[in-house]
Amino acid sequence: MAGVRSAATAARRARVSVATVFALNGFLAAMWVAHIPVVTERTGISHDALGGMLLLLGGSAFVGMQLCGPIIDRWGSRPTTVVAAVLLSLVILAPVRAAGAGTLAIALVGFGFANGALDVSMNAQAVAVERDYGRPIMSSFHGFFSVGGLVGSGVVALTLWLDVPVLATVSVAGGVGLVVIVCVAWGLLPGGIREPVESSSVESSASDAPRQAASHRWWHGIDRRRLVLLAAVAFALMLAEGTAYDWSALHIVETFGSPESVGAIAFGAFSAAMTVARFGIDPVAAAMGPVAVVRYGALIGIVGMTLAVVAPAAWVAIVGWTVFGIGLAGLIPQIFTAAGNLTTESSGRSISLVVGCGYLGMLAGPAVVGFISNRSTLAIGLVVAIGALVFAAAAAGVVRRGDDVTADEQRTVPRRRDTLER
C-alpha cells in the first residue's frame, strides 16, 4: 500500500512539473513574439526580411524536433527537457540583443532550435505522465502552455508601457526560466515513454527483431500508415490554428472596416476560448474517447469558421472565431498522445515527426491563406481552414486507442494505479 501511495505521489509531482514546463515554454515564447515590433524597429529589417527570418526560425525548430527524437529514445525525455529548457532560457536573450539582420537571423536559428527541442521533449514527458495517471490529462498541459503565453504577453505589454528596457525584461524572464527548470527537474519522470497502450500485433512485431535493428531503423514495429496519417492530421489541425493566429484580427478589420482594436478582440476571443476549453477537454476525452473529441471538435471548428466567413457583422464574426477556438482546443493533444503510444522502441521519434509536421502546418497555414486571398478575398482564403478540419474529422479514427478497440471500450482507459486522484 505504501508503495502504491508513493507511486501516486510521484505521478502527481510529475504532473505539476510537466505542467510548469509547458507554462514556461509559453511564457518564453511570448517574450519573443510580443517583442517582434520592437526588434523589427531596432534592426531596421523590412517585413519581407522578417517573414524570411520567421521561416528560418521555423526550419530550425523542425530540425531541433527531429534531432531531439532519437535523443529521447536513447536517454529519456527528462534530461532532454531540462537541457532544452535551459537552452531556451539562455537564447531568448539573443533576438532582442540583435543589432542587425545577420545577428537576428543567427539568434532566431538558436531560438527556434531550442524551442523545437523543448516542444518535443515536454510532450514526450506529458505522454508518460498521462500513462501513469491512466486517464486523459494531455489537454490540460496544453492549456498551461496557453496560460504561459498569455502571462508572457501581459508582462511584455506592461513593461513596454512602463518603459522598462527590453533587455532587462527578457533577462529577468530568462533568469526565471533557469530557476523554474532547476526547481521542477527533480519532479520529471526519469524514463522515456513506457508500456504504450497499443494493439498486441504492434507490440509483438516490435519484439520479433533485435533492439539494435530497431535503433537503426526507428520505424521498426510501427504502423507506418497510421504514423503518416497522424502527421497529416497534425499538419491540418495546426494549419487551421495558424490561420487564426495570423488572420483573425485582419479578417475583422478588412472585411467589416472595423478599427484595429476591434480586430484584436477577435484574436483575443479565439485565444481565450481555446485556453479555457483546454482545461475542460480531458473529462470529455475520458468519457467519450479521443476519436469523438477529434471528430466533434473538428465539426465545431468548422461551424465556427463558417460563421466567421459568412458573418454579416463584425460581432458575429468574433463569435465565429470564438467557436473556432473552442473546437480546436482539444484536438492536437489527442494526436500527440496517439503518436506517443505507437511503439515501445521509438516513441520519441514518433512524437518528433508528428509534432514537426504540425509545426510545418502552423507555418504553412498563414502563407496558404495569404496566397489565396491575394487572388480572391480573405474570406475565400479562410475556407482553407474549413477544408483542413473536414479532413481531420474524416480521419479522426487514427487516434483510436488500439487497432481493435470498440467504441464502447474507448470510454475506459486502462488504469495502472487505481489510487491516483480521480
Q: What is the pLDDT of residues 61-91, one digit of tens each?
A: 999 999 998 888 888 889 999 999 999 999 9
Report how far residue 253's alpha carbon sits from residue 29's, in angstroms, rounded to the nearest whole number. Answer: 26
Which of 418, 286, 282 is closest to 8 using CA atoms? Answer: 418
Residue that is last in its domain, among 178, 193, 208:
193
Q: Looking at the predicted structure, is the pLDDT value of residue 297 above 90?
A: yes
The sign of the torsion formed by the CA atoms of 274, 275, 277, 278 equals: positive
Q: Which residue has the cell 482553407?
A: 384
Report how far residue 5's alpha carbon sits from residue 420's, in angstroms, rounded to the nearest whole number. Answer: 8
Q: What is the pLDDT of residues 274-289, one digit of tens each?
A: 999 999 999 999 999 9
Residues 386, 269, single domain; the answer is yes
Q: Is residue 201 part of a domain?
A: no
Q: Looking at the predicted structure, is the pLDDT value of residue 231 above 50?
A: yes
Q: Looking at the predicted structure, is the pLDDT value of residue 326 above 80?
A: yes
Q: Is residue 11 part of a domain?
A: yes
Q: Looking at the predicted structure, is the pLDDT value of residue 413 above 70?
A: no
Tell me the residue range of the domain where 359 lies: 221-410
- Predicted confidence at residue 37, as pLDDT, reads 80
Residue that is last in its domain, among 154, 177, 193:
193
The three cell numbers of residue 382 are 479562410
Q: How confident is the model over 53-57, as a mean pLDDT?
A: 85
Q: Is residue 73 part of a domain?
A: yes
CA terminus-to-terminus distance, the chain: 18
Q: Is residue 199 part of a domain?
A: no
Q: How confident is the model over 121-137, as a mean pLDDT?
A: 90
Residues 143, 245, single domain; the answer is no
Residues 185, 227, single domain; the answer is no
Which of 361, 353, 317 is closest to 336 using CA atoms? Answer: 353
Q: At what angle do helices 101-133 and 77-91 cross, to 10 degrees?
A: 150
What is the secondary structure of 309-371 as a DSSP string? HH-SSHHHHHHHHHHHHHHHTTHHHHHHHHHHTS-SS-HHHHHHHHHHHHHHHHHHHHHHHHH
Which of 58-62, 76-80, 221-225, 332-336 is the least confident region?
221-225
Considering its fold, how many domains does the chain have in total?
A: 2
Report how far residue 360's alpha carbon sits from residue 273's, in angstroms, rounded to the nearest whole number. Answer: 24
Per the model's pLDDT, the better-predicted residue between 56 and 323 turns out to be: 323
- Predicted confidence at residue 402, as pLDDT, reads 59
Tally Cβ neighbours within 10 Å of residue 229.
18
Contact 83, 188 (CB under 8 A): no
Tally Cβ neighbours within 10 Å of residue 120.
32
> Which letter, b or e, does each residue of 172-191 get, where b requires 16 or more Cβ atoms within 10 Å of its Cβ?
ebbeebeebbeebbebbbee
Residues 256, 127, single domain; the answer is no
Which of 66, 113, 82 is closest to 20 using CA atoms? Answer: 82
Residues 265, 403, single domain; the answer is yes
Q: What is the pLDDT of residues 199-212, one digit of tens each?
A: 433 343 434 444 44
Q: Average pLDDT, whole number, for the chain? A: 84
**Percentage of residues of the chain with pLDDT beyond 70:** 84
Residues 187, 232, single domain; the answer is no
Residue that is last in its domain, among 156, 174, 193:
193
Reduced to 3 states (helix: H, G, I; strand: E, B; else coil), residue 112 is helix
Give the amino acid at 189. L
Report how far residue 250's alpha carbon sits from residue 314's, in angstroms, rounded to the nearest whole number. Answer: 11
Q: Is residue 416 part of a domain?
A: no
Which of 309, 221, 327 is closest to 273 using CA atoms? Answer: 327
Residues 264, 351, single domain; the answer is yes
Report how far residue 221's alpha carbon sits from residue 206's, in angstroms, rounded to the nearest whole number. Answer: 4
Residues 307, 363, single domain; the answer is yes
Which of 43-52, 247-256, 259-268 is the least confident region?
43-52
Q: How confident is the model over 303-332, as a mean pLDDT?
A: 95
Tell me the pLDDT band of 220, cut-offs 50, 70 and 90: low
- Predicted confidence at residue 202, as pLDDT, reads 39
> Which letter, b or e, does each residue of 24-56 get, where b requires 16 or more Cβ atoms within 10 Å of its Cβ?
bbbbbbbbbebbeeebbebbebeeeebeebeeb
Which of 326, 55, 240, 227 is closest to 47 using CA atoms? Answer: 55
- Predicted confidence at residue 54, as pLDDT, reads 80
Which of 26-30, 183-187, 215-219, 251-255 is the least confident region?
215-219
Residues 121, 29, single domain; the answer is yes
Residues 5, 118, single domain; the answer is yes
Pick the most confident of 77-91, 94-108, 247-261: 77-91
Which of 122-131, 337-346, 363-372 is the least confident region?
337-346
Per the model's pLDDT, the better-predicted residue between 259 and 281 turns out to be: 281
Q: Is residue 207 part of a domain?
A: no
What is the secondary structure of 149-164 as a DSSP string? HHHHHHHHHHHHHTT-
CATH number at residue 125: 1.20.1250.20
Q: What is the pLDDT of residues 16-28, one digit of tens each?
A: 999 999 999 999 9
Contact 340, 362 (CB under 8 A): no
Residues 152, 18, single domain; the answer is yes
Q: Is residue 212 part of a domain?
A: no
Q: Is residue 66 part of a domain?
A: yes
Residues 89, 184, single domain; the answer is yes
- Predicted confidence at residue 119, as pLDDT, reads 94
Per the model's pLDDT, the better-predicted residue between 421 and 148 turns out to be: 148
